[in-house]
Amino acid sequence: TWGAPATDGPKGILGGATGRVSEQDAQGAALSDCRAKGGNCKIEATYYNHCVALVTGDKVFNTKIAATVEEAAQLGMAMCTSEDANCRVFYSACSAPVFHPY
């Protein structure tokens, strides 16, 4: 399945979607969730059968995709701490595969 985070970075607003059947569905749901919170939002990433972590520091944020939340968070933290301070995982989620029996 597909997932996506959407943000309004200056306002610190985040929306997310997981478990969606298409990339467009995930993006639309994430944007709707973010905009419903009052943001002027944009998609940060889309992912398929993977996990995402959005890591933020004092000045910057980044989004990493990996097989697990832990791996995505480690990648994001490594990037953040190399250029910023007070880094933390702001959002993480996974969109798991759905198996259909035949």
Residues 46-100 have pLDDT tens digits of 999 999 999 999 998 999 999 999 999 999 999 999 999 999 999 999 998 887 6
The arithmetic mean of pLDDT across residues 17-28, rounded, is 96
The pTM of the full predicted model, rounded to 2 decimals, is 0.88
- At 100 the pLDDT is 65
Q: Is the pLDDT of residue 26 over 80?
A: yes
Quote the CA–CA distance of 23 and 8 in Å, as a whole number.
20
Quote the CA–CA distance of 66 and 90 in Å, as a whole number.
16
Residue 101: pLDDT band with limits 50, 70, 90: confident
